[in-house]
A = this chain, B = another copy of it.
Amino acid sequence: MYRTHTCGELRLEQAGRQVTLAGWIQTVRKLHKTVTFVDLRDRYGVTQLLFGESLVIQLEEQPLGREFVIQVTGTVTERTSKNPNMPTGDIEITVSNFSILNAAKTPPFTIQDDTDGGDELRMKYRYLDLRRNLVKQNLELRYRVNRSVRNFLDTRGFMDIETPFLIKSTPEGARDFVVPSRMNPNEFYALPQSPQTFKQLLMVSGYDRYYQVVKCFRDEDLRADRQPEFTQIDCEMSFVEQEDILNTFEDMVKHVFKEIKGITFNEAFPRMTWEHAMEFYGNDKPDIRFEMKLVNLTDTVQNQGFKVFDDAELVIAICAKGCSEYTRKQLDELTDWVKRPQIGMSGLIHLKYNTDGTLKSSVDKFFDETKLKGWAEKCNAQPGDLILVLAGREERTRKAMSELRLEMGERLGFRNKNEFKPLWVIDFPLFEYAEEEKRWVARHHPFTSPKPDQVALMDEPSRYGEIKANAYDIVLNGTEIGGGSIRIFQRELQEKMFAALGMSPEEARHKFGFLLGAFEYGAPPHGGIAFGFDRLCSLLGGSESIRDFIAFPKNNSGRDVMLDAPSDIDQSQLDELKIGLIK
């Protein structure tokens, strides 16, 4: 037994008790020759140690330093100057003897919330970064969310069932990681992008309610804040309609918020169709912590002699409340902002609705006061507001305005990370046309069911674009935290879907024969959802970055810089696997 108590445990009640503690040295403060104070840290807290006169010689022989691991025995003593900010702040340990369990070099960065270590350095020494309170709290939060989710699902009759990691490569959408097989040379397993087909098979097998907190893998180019391996809360239910799933998982999210954040949602989460979201927020994951909806001005402003508008597919506006006093500098800055390559617009038009009722626009030359008044009315603007207008190709302009709305929301302080506004986005299109590939692709995935009353359209390729899916996303503060669908459960419809995606019957059978087969032996109606667990945790923790919520994350090149992985492997390994490298 290395300790009788942890460093977060002792209180005044234990005064006089002889105890043994073990932990890391947070700080050493030598007050004068015969008094040294040490803050001893472990996962549970910090306790102050007092090394007095009897230990002066030992301390000279065995000097203590930051991050040393030590064991001390001593007496719990009431402090003369208490520290109300520390749970153990009423006491200290008067040390009678100590031993150094392990010395420590000076860490390459300070182990503090506000560390001096850069990103790469902290990743290389992740085991030290993980000591920082901030990171520790994140991983503790993740653990508590995991537990809260499991408890909820257990109570609702969901069964945790493990699905395999070494599966079959079925490229469709993102790229698979593949794994060569020594026992089956020249053949490869794939790592799952999700347990999708397995959870559906479990429904066919009658398991009724399944869940798993499970690693998934995608060999995609990593944009900021994507990881090649990520964790899903993966769920599936049988004999359900969309309504049943929305209700069940809305309850789950409410349960987690209650347990983790102490936040109660009394109202049902709003539900918004995909079309509504696209029209009024410009994207399918609206941040509804604030209004500032997109207003389509195309019809209002075209054919009045202003070429920029007349040539545009879309002219769209937002109304920033109370911003009519924006300076030229601020407006120029916003213009630069929309011109950045990520946004890609050529300019920004503004209209100030001054508090005195006058109107002032960057396009006064082309539009008279009445016309401008018309814009203001269309935008529901009041004196004191600022209207921002973008014009151009439809898709890009909508997307740009959606980004500008978020940017303005940010600047106006509407995006408070302690305010949580979840909603369901529903009625997604079933298909999406992929211009490069000149074919329809599945918006969600090929197992998603069309709306029951639109199944007939599956026979009319010219109308694929009209078909809506029984698919839904749950969106929190502008981020998708989960998504799912009611699945196809009939072989014939599944075959039509594969065909619509350009798969030949042979290809469909080769890749998904097991699923098509399963649908012939009594498949129940079913549907499910998967939550991005890393993302959910980062939102609950009030952070932008999922990396802060992963114990050992990879960098933007998919590398683990601590391990130095991926790395070369021995020629003998390659030989056994019967693969060669192409330089």
Which A positions have Cβ atoms within 8 angstroms of B? 1-3, 6, 22-24, 41-44, 67-69, 101-105, 107, 125-128, 130-131, 136, 139-140, 142-143, 146-147, 150, 154, 159-169, 171, 175-184, 186-191, 198, 201-202, 204-209, 215, 217, 219, 221-222, 228-229, 231, 239-241, 243-244, 489-490, 513-514, 517-525, 550-552, 554, 557-560, 562-570, 573, 575-583
How far, in whole Å, are A56 and B320 apart by their CA atoms in the complex?
68
Output the least CB separation between A427 and chain B (Å).
Answer: 20
Chain B contacts for A101, CB-based, 8 A? 524-525
Closest to A562 in B: B514
Do the beta carbons of B131 and A489 come within 8 Å of each other? no
How far, in whole Å, are A518 and B557 apart by their CA atoms in the complex?
24
Do the beta carbons of A573 and B102 come within 8 Å of each other? no
Do the beta carbons of A229 and B165 come within 8 Å of each other? yes
Do the beta carbons of B215 and A165 come within 8 Å of each other? yes
Pairs across A and B, CB under 8 Å, 20 listed:
A24-B524, A43-B208, A68-B522, A102-B519, A125-B521, A127-B518, A128-B521, A130-B207, A143-B159, A147-B160, A162-B551, A163-B551, A165-B217, A166-B177, A169-B573, A180-B180, A201-B552, A578-B582, A579-B579, A580-B580
Chain B contacts for A231, CB-based, 8 A? 162
Which 4 residue pairs are nearest across A and B when measured between Cβ atoms?
A130-B205, A168-B565, A104-B522, A2-B239
Chain B contacts for A107, CB-based, 8 A? 521
Output the least CB separation between A582 and chain B (Å).
Answer: 4
Chain B contacts for A198, CB-based, 8 A? 551-552
Chain B contacts for A131, CB-based, 8 A? 205-206
Known A-B contacts A69-B522, A518-B127, A523-B102; the reply to A160 vs B146 at CB < 8 A is yes
Do the beta carbons of A102 and B178 come within 8 Å of each other? no
Chain B contacts for A125, CB-based, 8 A? 517, 521
Chain B contacts for A186, CB-based, 8 A? 568, 581-583
Known A-B contacts A24-B522, A143-B161; the reply to A554 vs B166 at CB < 8 A is yes
Do the beta carbons of B557 and A184 come within 8 Å of each other? yes
Do the beta carbons of A573 and B160 come within 8 Å of each other? no
How far, in whole Å, are A208 and B41 apart by their CA atoms in the complex?
11
Do the beta carbons of B219 and A182 come within 8 Å of each other? yes
Q: Which of B1, B159, B184 contacts A139 (CB 8 A)?
A: B159
Do the beta carbons of A551 and B104 come within 8 Å of each other? no
Known A-B contacts A163-B551, A177-B179, A189-B566; the reply to A102 vs B489 at CB < 8 A is yes
Do the beta carbons of A43 and B207 come within 8 Å of each other? yes
Chain B contacts for A128, CB-based, 8 A? 205, 521
Closest to A239 in B: B2
Most chain B beta-carbon neighbours within 10 Å: one of A142, A166, A231: A166
Besides the known contacts A169-B565, A575-B582, 4 further A-B residue pairs in the complex with CB atoms under 8 A apart: A127-B518, A136-B207, A163-B551, A187-B566
Known A-B contacts A143-B159, A205-B131, A582-B578; the reply to A560 vs B520 at CB < 8 A is no
Do the beta carbons of A202 and B150 come within 8 Å of each other? no
Do the beta carbons of A569 and B169 come within 8 Å of each other? yes
Chain B contacts for A517, CB-based, 8 A? 125
